[in-house]
Structure 1
Amino acid sequence: MKAAGSIFSVAVCLWLTACSHDRWSDWVDQTELPPLALETSVEVKDHEGTLLRAYTVSDGRWRMSVTRSEVDSDYVKMLIAYEDKRFFTHGGVDLRAMARAVRQAAVNGRVISGGSTLTMQVARLLEDSGTGALSGKFRQMRVAWALERRLSKQQILELYLHLAPFGGNLEGVRAATFAYFGKEPKRLTPAEAALLVAIPQAPESRRPDRSHGRAVAARERVLARATRDGIIEADQAVAALTEPVPHLRRDFPALAPHLADRSVAEDPVSRVHLLTLDAGLQASLEKLSKDVIAGQGERVQLAIVVADHKSGEILASVGSAAFQADHRQGFVDMTQALRSPGSTLKPLIYGLSFDAGLGHPETLIDDRPMIFGTYAPQNFDRLFRGTVRMREALQLSLNLPVVQILDAIGPAKLLASLDKAGVRAIVPGDQPGLAIGLGGVGINLQDMVQIYATIARGGVALPLTYRVGGERDEGQRVLSAVAAWQVGDVLAGLAAPPGAPQNRLAYKTGTSYGHRDAWAIGYDGDHVIGVWLGRPDGTPVPGAFGAEVAAPVLFQTFSRLKRRLTPQPSAPSSTLLISNAELPPPLQRFKSRADSLAARSNDPAVAFPPEGSEVELLPSGLLVKVQGGQGPFTWLANGVPLAVAQRGRSTVLNLPDSGFYTLSVIDAEGRSARTKIRVR
């Protein structure tokens, strides 16, 4: 009877208050409402809006943003029918329901049904007030009336969808559907909807992970009411009763945790972060990474970056095989850690040499013991192959040839190219030497992928991005289209790992000094992927070679990305697709820097037109002259040979059009000179 008396007292108060409508109206208008702007979880989503990761609000609760349109309509119908049938017609307090509750309590001697409306429940949840005390109930009614005056029914309903308690630190229907069903609330089964209606009435005693039996019984009552009210059919209710009630809470999505943390740190104000990632691909690669390191020792870690090199969008980023504090240091994002790239910079070095007119894939180069000052590099296997083609030298990843090339173009040229590609390279002591060509520089995995994306895009850089939207300018040209294609053609000729499809993937592996880093980076016509394997603390991984441990992961990653590779683009029209014997004499054999210095006393020079001049293009062509050097001479315009084996020192070049040109002349000894002009 005590409960009935409390409800009756409330009804009396309502009656007395209603006696003076004007005073009551003023009293409602003067109500000081609690804050209506709710803090919701920060969310990180993929490019299609699929949740990748969410964060709790400041007090540790899960409260996720949701709108009415994002919630299953049958759930809302069940909720209103079960909790507040006249929600859309009352003004915040349902006097009929209150009177019914009083009558039932008076007859039965205990509370049979409550009189609280959804609006009153929202008022209680906003202020986190209790339900039993008369003063608290009266305050809820006042706030409910005020809410109805200031908000629409839809807004009040959405407040409930955010605040309804579902046990523990779960608030709101969206947090509940992720925790109990592992999905968004847009499409729910009748059984799921009924459980979500039942739990908030007694969230701690009905939460299915702790009070499973009570949750089942409460769900049955909601289903019975929904059937009676015609919300669901009888056969649907029967089927719903057979659907299991979950015994455990699920973990919230936590895909791409490193990249999600980075995005939130860079933009802490935004509540929703849209990333270019693909949730399905990300989940698949995170599982792959766990499988790969399972047999690699407790300190070995793996990182993967997948990007669309045409758009520059990152599609997947695995910073570690597990985001946890363990011997593998899983909290460290190894896509961002500076590591030695081993041999993976070699393709860029070869591309620069092709552009500089120092070589061609068919150019012969020596692989023999050499000393560069005090630097005496060795091949990885300590063997020497003698004279090989540049193509073979790159595919075999020989060290001596690439050091000769870097010595000829200069370490500063390589670092400048990395800078053009938007890559941050850290040189120990800020003193770049020839060792940077063999891995003596610090670069992270994402930047290495960006280098290969530049080559894949025909030599033009485009910074990688992981944020959806925003315009980005195309980057600088790092390699000519011809040199970039030549590098890709060489890399596509590298044999695939045992068991992998022989699909002409353009790729390169690398192993840093002491087996500290194993790399594999490759691309096809659309995508580029980078794989790193090693120990985050930088200690060696005995026996780890890029070709043996990283390359298979690269091919597995491509197979999870797509069924078949996209073909590489065809060769640019100006590409020399000829044998070594057909090359111009200066390109048939590589001339080392030492050889060039010995012959420099009689180096060729462009006598006409002079550097920086502006000349007129005559119908017969452009007259050019060379002095010094040893004939015959080869003339190139913007890297394209226009006159080969010219015995005389003067010749006429047939330029296609006016514009800016870099003219180069190469003599029989491979010595060259160039001049930049403008042709009208």
Structure 2
Amino acid sequence: MPRLRQLPLRTALLLLLCWLLFLLADRLDPLPDVQASGAQVVLARDGQPLWRFADDEGVWRYPVTLDEVSPLYLQALLDYEDRWFYLHPGINPPALLRAAWLNLRHGRIVSGGSTLSMQVARIIEPHSRTWQGKLHQIWRTLQLEWHHSKDEILEIYLNRAPFGGTLEGVSAASWAYLSKPASELTHAEAALLAVLPQAPSRLRPDRHAQRAQAARDKLLQRLRQHATWPAQQIDEALAEEIWLAPRQEPALAPLLARRLRQPHSGRIRTTIDFALQQRLEQLLASWKHRLPPRVSAAIVVAETASMEVRAYLGSADLHDEQRSGHVDMVQAVRSPGSTLKPFLYALALEDGLIHSESLLQDVPRHHASYQPGNFARGFGGPVSASEALLNSLNLPAVQLLEHYGSQRFDARLQQAGIRLQYPGDGIPNLALILGGTGAKLEDLVSAYAALGRNGSTAPLRYQPDTPLQPRPLTTPGAAWVVQRILSGHLQPNSAEQQRRQGFAWKTGTSHGHRDALALGVGNGHVIGVWVGRPDGTPVPGQYGQVSATPLLLQVYDILAQQPGRLTGNPSQPPAVGVAAICWPGGQPLAADDGNCRRQRIAWTLDGITPPTLNLAGLSQPVWQRIWTDDKGRQVAADCQQARPTDIALWPATLEPWLPAGERRSRRLPAVNTDCPPVTQPVAGELRILGVTPGARLHLPPLRSHEELVVEFSVEGASGGLWWFLNGRPLQQTDGSTAFQHAFTRPGKQQLSVIDSNGQTALLEFSTVLPVTD
């Protein structure tokens, strides 16, 4: 009896000793890291792989969880590899004994008797096929079962099992061989993938289809015997021949994948729309051959509501070294050209400086630091804010920025997340509105989204777990009006555009034709396109309207072709109203009022109709008070029967562009010489000499070496003179100096000049080719 009572205690002590020895061995010889490292896959929003990064050995994996794998595959796998997986402690003694007997009987290894847990142990730490290796495998299996649950072990197998070549894991195999996720496998496909890891090289279906099918069918028959699947489904699976999709490794959005790559993440989820990304990469591949040598392109497409990026193309071709395809131009800091102008107009609207039809001046200007010109030919004189924005006129934008303030404008953009960069330690100045700063394409896309989301912008979101961080840029009303203008609806009564209705876009071209941009927003999406050389070399003849806009519109058309993708634009905000205003004053007047020289219908905010802005630094009051006698002639204020009269006059700098009847000399009444006014308005007296207005000058014959040289001078000038030809700076002289210019190309010519007092003069003529027989 005493011996029987002592037996349990001895057994307990023995078990405790074994337990302690196990813990000590586990501490001294720990289990290797079971997680695969190095290989990563970048996923589209629907889970399709976009790009992959292999590990150091070139192996590609696509990590999945149990929930992301078809139950059919799990059933086939467990029936084939380890029916008692969830019941044994990692090793199956009967299976090991049976394998040992078969190996002894045949004199060679014909069966390993390995459980699924033992296979995982061999995967994480390969061993020799000897009895010592088998013992080591058993030890690792026990450790594996101690540290991990059955589901965790099964998940390791799903992600680490070999499937031939550089493929590891069922998901990588499913995408590579079947072009589908592992969650959508059919019975036949599940059985096929279940047998491959046993002999991945010998059974590779892309190389040995007959062997793979024979192994699959053998498993299907076994599943029939075990009644794992219904007989009818097994018969249908047996009738299927192995069909493999064309082998394609993920190769979309490479620069975004590189940007988002993380050191310890097997799967990187993005917001990219797989089908759209694929379609746009095909589009850009076809466009690449239209581009000049070494020129690349970038495209970004995002949804305005969520700010999630649906397509990201950082270059024309990752593998094109001549085009620097490895450089991500979505993140590159480049000149924005004129693409910042819409935000200046929106902020000026918000500030009450203008309404949509405010009179601005497209006339020559001179500043101490630079001479702004127009990209298009010549100057237009009087122009509305909406026309100036839609036609991207430079001088009206400079006029507006002078009133709003360069540093204030920069600060508003910075607060909204639009980070502008200036050369060296430069500070914001008037040149920034013409592209004299640096910006990223992604920041410009973010800014343009504000025009389609009630004035609020936010950083672009590349991953679904990135929070939306909205920031106000302008008011909903100002954003709506600017979006309306850029979509072609200049005035409330303008005709609706039929094609691409509701889509607004703006182009930009940097100095020297280095960068061509086009950005568009509308119907729930915002699109940005950049074209140029990544090294910043000028590309003659490249500008936004020609190089980037056609690509932008093709991207929009692709979006429009997909039903349900376009969602419409915000409705008109309550703050937006309509008013009939008159030029030159810019405010409402009765249509029959003599001071209403031109009536226009304007979009307004909060009912405000601000007066016409002057040019900064020049006294140009539109409204001038004069005194007249009973016959309507101008007199001095202290003359008998003098009565005050207010008259609206066009700014003096617009004189050269006005019809004769609108100039001050015609608008002001005659002077009563018996009691003349003390001061009289002086009309612009500056005049260009050298060519008769409207003249046609004949160029020399093409084969001759002669040039058409014309000498120009002025009369009525004061101080220095700054000359412009077709809207671009040409020459600087003083009031008494003539200069010569050689004309080489036919066409309409517009020569304009401005003096130190702000007086302007305009001369228009044409140069024509000689008539030949």
TM-score by length of 2: 0.67
**C-alpha distance in structure 2 between counterparts of 1:89 and 1:484, whole Å:** 66
Q: CA deviation at 1:146?
A: 4.3
Q: Which of 440, 449, 461 in structure 2 is aligned with 1:453?
A: 449
Provide the rounded CA distance (Å) in 2 between the counterparts of 1:187 and 1:507: 42
Identity, in percent, stands at 40
- Structure 1 residue aligned with 2:509: 511
With over 3 angstroms needed to count, the CA separation of the structure-2 counterparts of 1:575 and 1:372, relative to structure 1, is: farther
CA distance in 2, matches of 1:587, 1:274: 50
**Aligned CA distance change for structure 1 residues 115 and 354 (closer, same or farther; 3 Å):** closer
The match for 1:81 is 79
User: Is 1:219 paired with 2:219?
Assistant: no
* CA distance 1:389–1:163, shift in 2 (3 Å): closer
* 8 A Cα contact 1:227 1:234, kept in partner: no
Q: 1:535 & 1:494 partners in 2: Cα distance?
A: 34
Change (3 A) 1:145 1:483: closer
Matching residue within 150, 154, 169 for 1:172: 169
1:416: which partner in 2? 411
**Are 1:153 and 2:157 matched, yes or no?**
no
Cα distance in 1 for partners of 2:156, 2:552 equals: 48
Of 577, 580, 586, the residue aligned with 2:582 is 580
Quote the residue 1:229 is aligned against. Answer: 226
Distance 1:367 1:121, change over 3 A: same
Structure 2 gap segments, 5+ residues each:
1-13, 491-496, 590-608, 626-644, 649-773
Q: Is residue 299–residue 527 contact of structure 2 (8 Å, CA) maintained in 1? A: yes
SS at match of 1:468: coil
How do 1:104-503 residues align onto structure 2 when only pairs under 5 Å count?
104-105=102-103, 111-130=109-128, 132-232=129-229, 233=231, 236-237=234-235, 239-240=237-238, 242-246=240-244, 249-251=247-249, 253-264=250-261, 268-373=263-368, 375-429=370-424, 430-469=426-465, 471=467, 474-476=470-472, 478-493=473-488, 501-503=499-501
User: Judging changes above 3 Å, is the alpha-carbon distance between structure 1 residues 230 and 574 closer, same or farther for their aligned structure 2 residues?
Assistant: closer
When residues 103 and 39 of structure 1 are mapped into structure 2, their CA distance, relative to the original with a 3 A threshold, is closer
SS at match of 2:361: strand
Q: Secondary structure at the match of 1:519?
A: strand
How far did residue 566 of structure 1 move? Answer: 0.5
Contact 1:34 1:127 in 2 (8 A): no
Instruction: State the SS of the aligned residue for 1:510.
Output: strand
The question of 1:570 aligning with 2:565 is answered no
Q: 1:241 deviation in Å?
A: 5.4
Q: How does 1:8-27 map onto structure 2 within 5 Å? A: none
Aligned residue identity for 1:532: W
Paired AA for residue 484 in structure 2: D
Q: SS at the partner of 1:203? A: coil
User: Is contact 2:179-2:245 (8 Å) kept?
Assistant: no
Q: Secondary structure at the match of 2:182?
A: coil
Cα distance change on mapping 1:118 and 1:44 into 2, 3 Å: same
The 1:71/1:297 distance shift into structure 2, 3 A limit, reads same
By how many angstroms is 1:133 displaced?
Answer: 1.2
CA separation of 1:134/1:527 partners in 2, compared to 1, >3 Å: closer, same or farther?
same
Equivalent-residue separation in structure 2 for 1:481 and 1:112 (angstroms): 76
Give, in whole Å, the separation in 2 of the partners of 1:352 and 1:87: 68
Could you tell me how far apart the structure 1 residues matched to 2:479 and 2:30 are?
Answer: 65
User: Which range moves more in the overlay, 419-428 or 561-570?
Assistant: 561-570
Provide closer, same or farther for how the CA distance between residues 109 and 468 of structure 1 changes in structure 2, counting only shifts above 3 A.
closer
Give the secondary-structure state (helix, strand or coil) at the position aligned to 1:289.
helix
SS in 2 for 1:575: strand
Q: Distance in 2 between matches of 1:154 and 1:236?
A: 27
What is the CA-CA distance between 1:108 and the residue it aligns to?
5.4
Contact 2:161 2:169 in 1 (8 A): yes
The one-letter code sitting in structure 2 at the alignment partner of 1:159 is I
CA distance 1:455–1:102, change in 2 (3 Å): closer
> 553, 556, 560: which one pairs with 2:554?
556
Take 2:275 and 2:620, find their aligned partners in 1: how far apart are those partners? Answer: 57
Structure 1 residues 327 and 85, CA gap change in structure 2 (3 angstroms): same
Q: Aligned equivalents of 2:352 and 2:17: distance in 1? A: 93
464-473 vs 501-510, greater mean Cα deviation: 464-473
Change (3 A) 1:536 1:323: same
Work out whether 1:593 is the aligned partner of 2:616: yes
State the alpha-carbon separation in 2 of the partners of residues 438 and 517 from structure 1: 13
CA–CA separation in structure 2 for the residues paired with 1:308 and 1:293: 26
Gap change, CA 1:269 and 1:126, over 3 Å in 2: closer
Instruction: Answer whether contact 2:209 2:242 (CA < 8 A) is retained.
Output: no
Whole-Å Cα distance in 2 between the matches of residues 353 and 248 of structure 1?
56
Q: Deviations over 1:177-234 (max 9, x none)?
A: 2332233211212332233222222223333345455434433433343344334436
What secondary structure is seen at the aligned counterpart in 2 of 1:329? coil
Maintained 8 Å contact 2:514/2:536: yes
Residue 537 of structure 1 aligns with an amino acid whose one-letter code is D
Residues 220 and 336 (structure 1 numbering): CA distance in 2 closer, same or farther, change over 3 Å? Answer: same
Q: Match of 2:32, SS?
A: coil
d(CA) in 1 for partners of 2:523, 2:282:
26
**Is the 1:351–1:483 Cα contact (8 Å) retained in structure 2?**
yes
